[in-house]
Amino acid sequence: MDQNTLTINGHAYNFEPGQTILQIAQHNNIDIPNLCHLKGTRPTGACRICIVELEESWGKKLVSSCSTPAKKDMVVHTESPEIVKYRKIYLGLMLDSGNHNCDIGSAADESWTDFQIAAMENDKKEELCPVWGDCELQALAYRYQVKGRVSGRHREPLLLPVEDDNSFIYRDMSRCILCGRCVAACNEVQVNQAIDFGFRGNSGKIIAGTGTTLRNSSCVFCGECVQVCPVGALVEKKNLGKGRPWETEKIRTTCPYCGVGCQQLLHR
């Protein structure tokens, strides 16, 4: 039988019709960075970090691998100089769009040790981000050595105060990169439909209900959005200031809430 095969970074892989380039890459342990992709939900192509290069008969083109279905005999590259150039631009724009004050990119002129020491010193700052060291944007910015301007507060949501009127979720839209993972998690995974994209352009933000707080919306505080948020925009309130993930012991246990028996990791 004629198999569906494409080439990624010079190696041939089989695929099933309907699979995206990102799905095939992930299935074969090929690293394509991404920030908006959420497994099991509809792809949005919002962050553009997962761009790959396709060789076409007329030249090369860049596409989002999360939203591009694989085609027979496609030739894909995942880390070419052109891709890296655009990933850096997109990461820089994301850093500039919010309150990302975590010393990203300082490793360009310091050793890794100096970078860590500087960050630990910054840790004393009241304003330092609660997810420092556990942030997908920070990790990618470090990987691609992109430094934000820190002062780039040009989006309207950055003027919003932190939403802190509930007992469970610390919601800081000044650090939101509008990836949409939380919206997919709430609407497609949990089917709670408590949050969505609201407004347009520089006023664009994730809204609860028709523009209220989570507490006053249909949010049930399941936490699904918190666990998928790649940055420090949604943080579990109980964890704030209680230690970094690598400082805690993780114990696998069973959630006692209902009879499904979901496994979870308790951090202590």
Q: Is 158 in the site for ligand SF4 (CB under 6 A)?
A: no
Q: Which residues fall within 8 angstroms of residue 125, CB to CB, at 6 or more apart?
A: none
Is 198 a binding residue for ligand SF4 by CB under 6 A? The answer is: no
Q: Which two tokens stand for residue 53?
A: 């290069």
Q: Which stretch binds ligand SF4 (CB under 6 A): 53-61, 76-84, 109-117, 219-227?
A: 219-227
CA dist list (Å): 158 to 50, 162, 169, 235: 26, 9, 18, 17
Choice from 74, 185, 207, 235 touching ligand SF4 (CB under 6 A): 185
Nearest approach, Cβ of 169 to ligand SF4 (angstroms)? 6
* Residue 41 engages ligand SF4 in binding (rule: CB under 6 A): no
Instruction: Give the whole-angstrom CA distance, residue 119 versus residue 133.
Output: 9
- With 0-12 / 13-18 / 19 or more C-beta atoms within 10 angstroms meaning exposed / middle / buried, residue 58 is exposed
223 near ligand SF4 (CB under 6 A): yes
DSSP 237: G
Cα separation, 244 vs 195, whole angstroms: 28
Q: Is 140 in the site for ligand SF4 (CB under 6 A)?
A: no
> Measured between alpha carbons, how far apart are the two ends of the chain, in Å?
53
- 11 forms beta bridges with 8
Q: Residue 182 and residue 38: Cα distance in Å, rounded?
A: 9
Out of 8, 24, 195, 235, the residue judged to bind ligand SF4 by CB under 6 A: 195
Binding of ligand SF4 by 235 (CB under 6 A) = no
Among 107, 129, 146, 207, binds ligand SF4 (CB under 6 A): 129
By the rule CB under 6 A, 222 interacts with ligand SF4: yes
Pairing of strands 59-64, 169-171: unpaired
Note whether 118 binds ligand SF4 by CB under 6 A: no
User: Cα(38)–Cα(136) distance, rounded to whole angstroms?
Assistant: 13
Give the one residue of 25, 51, 177, 235 binding ligand SF4; rule: CB under 6 A: 177
Q: Which of 41, 221, 237, 244 binds ligand SF4 (CB under 6 A)?
A: 221
- For ligand SF4, what does the binding mask look like between residues 1 and 40, x meaning CB under 6 A? ----------------------------------------
Q: Which residue's CB is nearer to ligand SF4, number 7 or number 67?
A: 67
Closer of 22 and 135 to ligand SF4 (Cβ)? 135
If the CB atoms of residues 48 and 77 are measured against ligand SF4, the closer one turns out to be 48
181 with 228: CB under 8 angstroms?
A: yes
Q: Which of 119, 131, 158, 235 is the binder for ligand SF4 (CB under 6 A)?
A: 131
